[in-house]
Amino acid sequence: MTNVAVGLSKDLPNGRVMRAIVGEQDLVVWRSKSGVLSAWDNRCPHRGMRLSHGFVRGEALACVYHGWHYDKTATCRYIPAHPELEPPETIKAQRFSSTEKGGLIWVSIEEQSTEPSIPDNLKAIRSISFACPMMALKQVIRDLDFTLVKDDNSGWVIQEKSDDQWMMKSIKANISLHLFFQNLSEQTCKIHALANSDCAPDTMKKMSQALEHIRRLAEKHYEVVVS
């Protein structure tokens, strides 16, 4: 599994928190005020509250339940109910390795991880969720007979660079759409989509709409299959 794309960098500005799932692992992914990225087990060691409900206070993540503050090493540094107490070093959340490359946030829950492979200078389009298995979604994309962008009738080729990374490239127009798949459960998955860097806002909108189109097809196809 190594490094998994869990979101777009642009969707997690400084001082913000999000939740992510990698395999069975529930994660809080957050970025400090100065921009330091972290990915931890999504559980406050105090009472088990999801840390993804928490909030960033400077360089710390605070749990929303009782306000325990954790620094970037995931160690508890401050307990509001006991402001004079220096919390024991042993109160800490479980950390995982996280990195950013190519406009994506990557998390690895394995000890060994390889550097993510992604071209530089891509333009982030959007993360989009699907209520269908990833296999069903991939099959629908493989079988697509379509023009991804309305005024481009030249057709597309799909390069399956790896299990999780596909590229759809227009045969004539200078447009490429990079798809990074993220499996969430047997019934749900996500695509994090990026395009070539010179992509204009109008083309970005069309790509976003194309992803909506793919979602309608994939979920409809899956409903037919299961019923």
Partner 1 sequence: MSFTLYDYALSGNCYKIRLFANILNVEYERIAVEFYPGAEHRSEKMLQISPAGTLPILKKDDMVLSETSAMLFWMAKNFNAADHWWPENDVAAQAQIIQWMGFASDLTATIGQGRLHALFQTPIDKDKIVKGGRAALRKIEAHLTEQSFDGFSFLTGDKPTIADIACFPYVALSPDVGANIGLDHDDYPAIRNWIYALKSLNGFIPMPGIYAMHELKDHEIDYGAQKPFKTGAAQ
Kindly state the smallest distance separating residue 51's Cβ from partner 1, in Å: 13
- Interface residues with partner 1 (CB under 8 A)? 7-8, 11, 13, 15-16, 18-20, 32-33, 52, 55-60, 62, 64, 69, 71-75, 77-78, 89, 92, 95, 126-127, 129, 131, 190, 201, 204-205, 208-209, 212
Q: Closest CB to partner 1 among 41 and 71?
A: 71
- Minimum Å gap between C-beta 186 and partner 1 is 13
| Cβ-defined contacts of 59-63 (< 8 Å, 24+) | 59/32, 59/33, 59/34, 60/32, 61/17, 61/28, 61/30, 61/32
Contact yes or no for 184/190 (Cβ under 8 A): yes
Least distance between partner 1 and beta carbon 155 (Å)? 25
Identify which of residues 69 and 138 has a Cβ nearer to partner 1 in the complex.
69
Please identify, using beta-carbon distances, which residue of 30 and 166 lies nearer to partner 1: 30
Q: Please say which residue, 101 or 126, places its beta carbon nearer to partner 1.
A: 126
Give the angle subtended at the CA of 186 by the CAs of 161 and 214, to the nearest 5°. 55
- Burial pattern 30-63, b for ≥16 Cβ within 10 A else e, equals bbbeeeebbbbbbbbbeeebbbbebebeeebbbb
Q: Nearest approach, Cβ of 43 to partner 1 (angstroms)?
A: 15
